[in-house]
């Protein structure tokens, strides 16, 4: 059982996996030519389990999840590039997972939407726009470096 982590921007899925497991990347299992599964052992007071964090270099059009047991999808995106969300939508449609997280460093708030501070907003989206996008697609927005507001 596992979760697929894909990137629709320059951020690396493997870097996010390192942050999740709080260590160096564990030795992956090769699931397919372009897909790896990194084990993430979880131990609580009540149970012990291993979750596999999958990453793939395959484009969404070539990705085949038929051999994997994927229950969650984590999509890395860049709020400064609307194309990033277009690609994220394709991954969400392809994987049809019940749990979908859309992850970025930080979305600029609407009151920060001036071209001097956030020049990429001319081609990107504000936090409010991304939140509305997430609601429309049934996913959650996670900012790894949120504003202090």
Interval 1-36: pLDDT, tens: 799 999 999 999 999 999 998 888 888 988 888 899
| CATH for 2-143 (3.30.56.10, 3.40.1190.20, 3.20.20.70, 3.40.50.300) | 3.40.50.300
Kindly report the pTM of this predicted structure: 0.86
Calculate the CA dihedral of residues 67, 94, 10, 71 and round it to 10 degrees. Answer: -60
Bridge partner list, 4: 54, 73
| pLDDT reported for residue 109 | 76
Which ranges of the chain have pLDDT less than 50? none
Distance (Å, whole) CA 61 – CA 47: 37
- Sequence ranges of the domains in the chain: 2-143
């Amino acid at each position: 059982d596992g979760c697929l982590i894909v990137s629709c921007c320059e951020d690396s899925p493997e870097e996010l996996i390192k942050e999740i497991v709080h260590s160096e990347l564990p030795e992956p299992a090769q699931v397919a030519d372009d897909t790896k599964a990194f084990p993430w052992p979880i131990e609580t007071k009540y149970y012990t389990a291993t979750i596999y964090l999958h990453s793939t270099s395959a484009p969404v059009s070539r990705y085949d999840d038929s051999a994997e047991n994927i229950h969650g999808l984590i999509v890395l995106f860049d709020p400064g590039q609307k194309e990033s969300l277009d690609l994220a939508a394709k991954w969400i449609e392809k994987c049809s997972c019940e749990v979908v997280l859309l992850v970025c460093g930080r979305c600029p708030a609407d009151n920060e939407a001036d071209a001097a501070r956030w020049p990429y907003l001319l081609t990107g989206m504000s936090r409010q726009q991304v939140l509305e996008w997430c609601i429309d697609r049934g996913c959650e927005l996670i900012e790894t470096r949120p504003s202090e507001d």
